[in-house]
Structure 1
Amino acid sequence: MIKDVEITNFQCHKHSLLEFSEGVNVIVGPSDEGKSAVIRAIRWGIQNDPSGIAFRSYFAKKDELTSVAISTDDERWVVRERDETVNRYKLWNIKDPLEAFGQGPVKEVLDTFNLSTFAIQGQHEQYFLLQSSPGEVSRVLNELTGLGVSDDLLKKIGSILYKARDGISNADEMIERLKGEIKEYFYLDALEVDLGKLEKALKERELARQERRGILDLTNQIGQVNAQIEEWDSWLEIEPEAKGLIDEVQGVEVLMRERALLQTAISKIEFVNEEIKALDEEADDHQKALALQKEMREIFHLRQDYRQLKDAIERLDNFDGEIGGLDSQIKIMKEEKDKYGIICQNCGARLEL
């Protein structure tokens, strides 16, 4: 139980110390002498009520705190302190002051005293249980004796039973309603069978569409291949002529190389002719004549070779026109070959010329 209360700068109390005895303690005295302020101070210290600082004494100095210190007969104590900036609790079993506790009762303080709200009464409050209704008296007594727990439990059980019965009733109604609705859908079994058949038909239809698309694609590919075959057939018709022209071109290339050799020989013959002319002018004696005769025979043979070479050169010159025509034809054939290619009639592979 509370042993004593020390009040400082709380309403009209500059500094007051009250010591309590065992049992019920009654504070008496003239009006306006601070009896109610004692009750307010105890409630403020234990229940943190009222809030604010309106209860702070007007005569308190700026550096003085408003405080209420309450101790019990088992050496537990609580100090409540307040001013413009300070707002805290000091407890017997906590080292540091409590400052961040908000409004309303503080659990650590309530646990220290373990007092009910009706353990402290003011002079203008109703007498404990004497002016209460029978129901309120029963509630308080049940709470004090522990029977309130049973009442609460019975109320909760009754609430649960009521909700359960109500839920069962609603469920029964819903079951009956659903049974009626189910009867309206008697055709669903037959519909399910029809849906299965429809799904099967749709799958078969989709497979047929896929096969049709495949056939159309294959038909287009066959048409493209036939067009290429026709182009290759056109090329195969002119292939023998092209091969003949290619052989002629190769022969012309050989003649061109021979022509170059003949031109070199002619140049040498012309050089020899110049030397012969020089020798003709210098031939004075018989020996020179014999030598010249021998050289003349050689010259005669060289002239014959010269005429043959000249004829060959003329023939080669005639080939120039033919080569030009062949070049044009070969160019056209190469363009056609690059465009169409040549397909082997045996293996189907494309041939390169």
Structure 2
Amino acid sequence: MGCIKSLKLINFQSHRETQINFHKGLTVILGQTDQGKSAIIRALKWVLYNEPRGTDFITAGCKYCRVELEMQDGSIIIRERDGQRNRYILKQNGQEQIFEGFGNTVPLEIVKVHGIPKIYIDRDATSAVNLAEQLEPPFLISESGSNRAKALGRLVGIHIIDAAQRATLKDLSDSQQRHKLLEKDIADLTDELQSYENIDMLAEKITHLKSILEKLKQKRHIILKLTQLKQELEPTNLEINNNKNILLKLNYIETAEKNMQIIDALYSKYHYLCQLKKKLVLVADSIKTEQKVVNITQNLASIEHFYVTILELTQMQYKLVNINRNLNDNDKNTKRIKTVLIDTENVYIADKIMHKAEKLSEALKKYISNRDQWKAINHQLDFQKKEIMRYLKIEKSELYINDLLQKIQLLSMLQNTKNSISTIDTSIKKGELYLQKLGANLTVMAKEYSQILERFSICPTCLKPIDKKTTQKIVSDILN
């Protein structure tokens, strides 16, 4: 147990700042009424036991309260409280620890330092034996006889024997109750065991029946699978019948294959004719262009006349040029110049005629070029007219080709239908063979199952006895 050296109160009820030094042994606080004697005890309980709770003990008009407790070993315990903080501060061996969030209890480190905990008189009864308030009766005098006995027993260690006795009595009572329950269970189980005298024989039968039941489950699963396959085959059979009817109506499929070859050849011709048609359109456009050239060259005869005139004028020009050269040589002679000028009064007209001759020469060159083009166009027109005569019936060919294309599509559909029917026929044959095998296996397994049921005469599901008629009915239901 620790020993308190001093107590300091700050803003605790009526104590603004009070310092109390304690001596070894019993300490009694005396004084007049309302001088703060009880507040000192409350301050001690607040530090030692975290009592009272709340903030009512803070001095009126103050927001802060502090109680400092110094022990004989030099340790200091500080309890602080304000609007936001509620904590313990422990100063020991030059170190400081702060404790917060401890709730309604006292931190274990604080209890170990002051060593003044409450004493447990009983499991639910405690007492602060180190403190006594004003008007409180002497220790244990006011307590009941049982509590006094418990307190005294705790002082000498008898409470340990009492606790052991209570635990022993409780364990003894629980053991007696369990003993009675176990005896009753043993009697009930003994009665039940009499009804299981033939348990070994039944276990063998159950094991055998379980194996049979497992086989039956597997066979039942196979039957369900076969039934499902049969249901799936029914629409396939209907479709097969419909396809057979279609095939009866399509006996001319070989002829259609031959027509397919003819159609392919005609389609190639059609493609060739389409290309020729495009060429004809281009040729027609070219004919229109050349026709314009022909219309331009209709005055070819007058152009030839102008050409002859141009030749004559060219010869005349040549003569005039020679005359002009001679006149230039006699330029120094004035009289001869006048004579020459008189003789050459028509030189200006000759220049005009020369200019016209040049234009006619250019037109003649264009004419010759156009004439060559016209001849080539006429030759090409003759060839294209022959080609047009060969393909006058191209529109009828287009109609025939469209009809052939429709027939090609129909033939392709029929070919696909034929292939599908062949595949379905093969699948049906395989399915029928598989169903025949499964039917034979099912019949054999049903007979074995019937023999097993007749031998044991017990229902594998409910384990009730059955007769031969019931066995036959079960087998009949399986087969159907």
**Counterpart Cα distance in 2 of 1:84 and 1:332:** 103
Give the letter aligned to residue 114 of structure 2.
F
**Counterpart Cα distance in 1 of 2:7 and 2:398:** 133
Deviations 1:308-338 (A, max 9, x none): xxxxx9xx99xx99x9999988865664443
**Counterpart Cα distance in 2 of 1:130 and 1:69:** 33
Cα distance, 1:161 vs structure 2: 5.9
Cα pair 1:232 1:340 within 8 Å, conserved: no
The alpha-carbon distance between structure 1 residues 84 and 233, as it changes in their structure 2 partners (threshold 3 A), is: closer
Could you tell me which residue of structure 2 aligns to residue 20 of structure 1?
A: 23
Could you tell me which residue of structure 2 aligns to residue 137 of structure 1?
A: 148
Q: 1:35 aligns with which of 34, 37, 56?
A: 37
The alpha-carbon distance between structure 1 residues 167 and 217, as it changes in their structure 2 partners (threshold 3 A), is: farther
Cα pair 1:48 1:106 within 8 Å, conserved: no
1:230 aligns with 2:231: no
* TM-score normalised by L of structure 2: 0.42
**Counterpart Cα distance in 1 of 2:223 and 2:75:** 92
Identity %: 21
Could you tell me which residue of structure 1 aligns to residue 221 of structure 2?
A: 203
1:120 aligns with 2:131: yes
The alpha-carbon distance between structure 1 residues 29 and 226, as it changes in their structure 2 partners (threshold 3 A), is: same
Give the letter aligned to residue 112 of structure 2.
D
**Counterpart Cα distance in 2 of 1:164 and 1:66:** 57
* TM-score normalised by L of structure 1: 0.54
Give the letter aligned to residue 130 of structure 1.
I
5+ long unaligned stretches in structure 2: 119-127, 271-385, 421-480
Deviations 1:255-280 (A, max 9, x none): xxxxxxxxxxxxxxxxxxxxxxxxxx
Greater alpha carbon shift after TM alignment, 42-51 vs 84-93: 84-93
Could you tell me which residue of structure 2 aligns to residue 68 of structure 1?
A: 67
RMSD in angstroms over aligned alpha carbons? 5.3
**What secondary structure does 1:123 align onto?**
coil
- 5 Å-filtered alignment, 1:302-313, equals none
Q: How many residues align?
A: 274
**Counterpart Cα distance in 1 of 2:41 and 2:47:** 10
- 5 Å-filtered alignment, 1:280-319, equals none
Give the letter aligned to residue 231 of structure 2.
R
The alpha-carbon distance between structure 1 residues 216 and 134, as it changes in their structure 2 partners (threshold 3 A), is: same
Deviations 1:15-37 (A, max 9, x none): 24232223x33334555544333
**Counterpart Cα distance in 2 of 1:249 and 1:123:** 133
**What secondary structure does 2:69 align onto?**
strand
Cα pair 1:49 1:104 within 8 Å, conserved: no
Could you tell me which residue of structure 2 aligns to residue 52 of structure 1?
A: 54
**What secondary structure does 1:111 align onto?**
helix
Greater alpha carbon shift after TM alignment, 227-236 vs 324-333: 324-333
- 5 Å-filtered alignment, 1:139-218, equals 139-145=150-156, 148-149=159-160, 151-152=162-163, 155-156=166-167, 159=170, 162=173, 166=177, 176=188, 199=217, 202-218=220-236
Cα distance, 1:140 vs structure 2: 2.7
Greater alpha carbon shift after TM alignment, 143-152 vs 128-137: 143-152
Could you tell me which residue of structure 1 aligns to residue 112 of structure 2?
A: 111
Cα pair 1:245 1:326 within 8 Å, conserved: no
Could you tell me which residue of structure 1 aligns to residue 410 of structure 2?
A: 339
Cα pair 1:231 1:340 within 8 Å, conserved: no
5+ long unaligned stretches in structure 1: 254-312, 349-353
**What secondary structure does 1:127 align onto?**
coil
Could you tell me which residue of structure 1 aligns to residue 446 of structure 2?
A: none
The alpha-carbon distance between structure 1 residues 199 and 168, as it changes in their structure 2 partners (threshold 3 A), is: farther
Higher relative helix content: 2
The alpha-carbon distance between structure 1 residues 25 and 226, as it changes in their structure 2 partners (threshold 3 A), is: same
**Counterpart Cα distance in 2 of 1:98 and 1:229:** 100
**Counterpart Cα distance in 1 of 2:130 and 2:142:** 16
**Counterpart Cα distance in 1 of 2:405 and 2:141:** 130
Give the letter aligned to residue 109 of structure 2.
E
Cα distance, 1:209 vs structure 2: 0.7
Cα pair 2:260 2:408 within 8 Å, conserved: no
**Counterpart Cα distance in 1 of 2:408 and 2:57:** 116
The alpha-carbon distance between structure 1 residues 88 and 326, as it changes in their structure 2 partners (threshold 3 A), is: closer
**What secondary structure does 2:147 align onto?**
helix
Deviations 1:129-160 (A, max 9, x none): 33433432343344445554554455456556
The alpha-carbon distance between structure 1 residues 208 and 43, as it changes in their structure 2 partners (threshold 3 A), is: same
Cα distance, 1:122 vs structure 2: 1.7
Give the letter aligned to residue 131 of structure 2.
I
Cα pair 1:7 1:41 within 8 Å, conserved: yes
**What secondary structure does 1:39 align onto?**
helix
Greater alpha carbon shift after TM alignment, 210-219 vs 72-81: 210-219
The alpha-carbon distance between structure 1 residues 168 and 227, as it changes in their structure 2 partners (threshold 3 A), is: farther
The alpha-carbon distance between structure 1 residues 243 and 70, as it changes in their structure 2 partners (threshold 3 A), is: closer
**Counterpart Cα distance in 2 of 1:12 and 1:338:** 115
Cα pair 1:10 1:67 within 8 Å, conserved: yes
**Counterpart Cα distance in 1 of 2:100 and 2:261:** 117
The alpha-carbon distance between structure 1 residues 173 and 334, as it changes in their structure 2 partners (threshold 3 A), is: farther
Cα distance, 1:85 vs structure 2: 6.4
Give the letter aligned to residue 47 of structure 1.
Y
